[in-house]
């Protein structure tokens, strides 16, 4: 495993298991498989509805807590200072943890950015109180990061973004790099490029001829090539799968390296096409939903 050192000195495994859209009934087995295969970083979110099952798998694994890195996210419906503190309580209870390793805001809320900054100030309080080890954001663009840095004190440790060769968000990556913010890729193997919602003309980056050619050159899978591409550029990657063989394949990416020409060829696949929601479209009216209390 490779590690990244966050801007407050906390070490984070560079590769983790994501559980976005993993049904609760499948989450426990997927996390258990990942931990058995050597994963120590698990990424979930309040909005995923599977924090409880992640927590069950963590407890059942027998892996010492000190070896685990658990990341979760506050949803926009729980933004605001007091609301976010309570959001932490809900997530911690579902996960069965007293302290969360990385807590991030799931989206910017451009239509009510004061709620966003209030939520982040709550994260700063949780950090100061030792209830989280690091804080960050997700899906924040340069304008959101600039406004956040102007209004708060702690520079985010992580910005989790849609990053794959077809959509690289280089302006945001450069801003993050300049401010010591680790870029963390969701959909690092371009899974969103073959989801039905990507459009009728969708094409999977896993099937791109450039990717498959490089995979053949290394005797690796396209997914392994894309994960290696992200890791070699200093990013955290959190691929998701519920299949043990895929989970095993995704962690087996530390025994080879891409050369400069291969990295450049992958960089050259940029399409500028976002698969996730446009940040400006994320409002409480369109995406707000209540996050249940812990049972």
Q: Could you list the active site residues?
A: 48
Phi, psi of 158 (to 5 degrees): -145, 145
Reading the block at residue 176, the tokens are 């993050």
292 alpha-carbon distance from chain centroid: 22
Query: For the chain, percent helix, then strand, then coil, each to nearest 5?
Result: 45, 15, 35
Phi, psi of 204 (to 5 degrees): -75, 130
Q: Are 48 and 238 in contact (CB under 8 A)?
A: no
What ranges in the chain are assigned the alpha helix state H? 24-36, 51-61, 81-95, 113-128, 142-151, 170-178, 209-218, 222-232, 244-251, 260-267, 284-287
- From CA 158, how far away is CA 92, in angstroms rounded? 20
The answer for residues whose C-beta is within 8 angstroms of residue 279's C-beta and 6 or more apart is 107, 108, 110, 139, 140, 141, 144
Nearest CA to 251 among 189, 198, 191?
A: 189
Q: Are 203 and 273 in contact (CB under 8 A)?
A: no
Q: How far apart are the first and last CA of the chain?
A: 35
3-state secondary structure of 33: helix
């Amino acid at each position: 495993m490779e590690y990244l050192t966050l801007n407050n000195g906390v070490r984070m495994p560079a590769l983790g298991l994501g559980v976005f859209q993993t049904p609760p009934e499948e989450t426990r087995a997927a996390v258990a498989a990942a931990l058995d295969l050597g994963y120590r970083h698990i990424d979930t979110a309040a909005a995923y509805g599977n924090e409880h099952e992640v927590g069950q798998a963590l407890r059942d694994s027998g892996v010492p807590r000190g070896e685990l890195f658990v990341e979760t996210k506050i949803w926009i419906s729980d933004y605001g200072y007091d609301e976010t503190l309570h959001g932490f309580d809900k997530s911690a209870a579902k996960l069965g943890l007293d302290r969360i390793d990385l807590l991030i805001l799931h989206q910017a809320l451009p239509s009510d950015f004061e709620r966003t900054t209030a939520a982040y100030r709550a994260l700063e309080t949780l950090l100061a109180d030792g209830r989280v080890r690091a804080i960050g954001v997700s899906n924040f663009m340069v304008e959101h990061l600039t406004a956040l840095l102007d209004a708060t004190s702690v520079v985010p440790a992580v910005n989790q973004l849609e990053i794959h060769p077809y959509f690289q968000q280089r302006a945001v990556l450069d801003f993050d790099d300049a401010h010591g913010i680790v870029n963390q890729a969701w959909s690092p193997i371009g899974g969103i490029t073959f989801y039905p919602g990507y459009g009728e003309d969708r094409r999977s980056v896993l099937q791109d001829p450039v990717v498959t050619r490089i995979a053949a050159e290394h005797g690796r899978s396209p997914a392994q090539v894309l994960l290696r591409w992200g890791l070699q550029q200093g990013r955290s990657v959190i691929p998701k799968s519920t299949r043990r063989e895929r989970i095993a394949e995704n962690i087996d990416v530390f025994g080879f390296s891409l050369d400069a020409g291969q990295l450049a060829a992958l960089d050259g696949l940029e399409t500028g096409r976002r698969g996730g929601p446009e940040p400006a479209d994320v409002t409480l009216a369109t995406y707000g939903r209540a996050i249940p209390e812990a049972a």
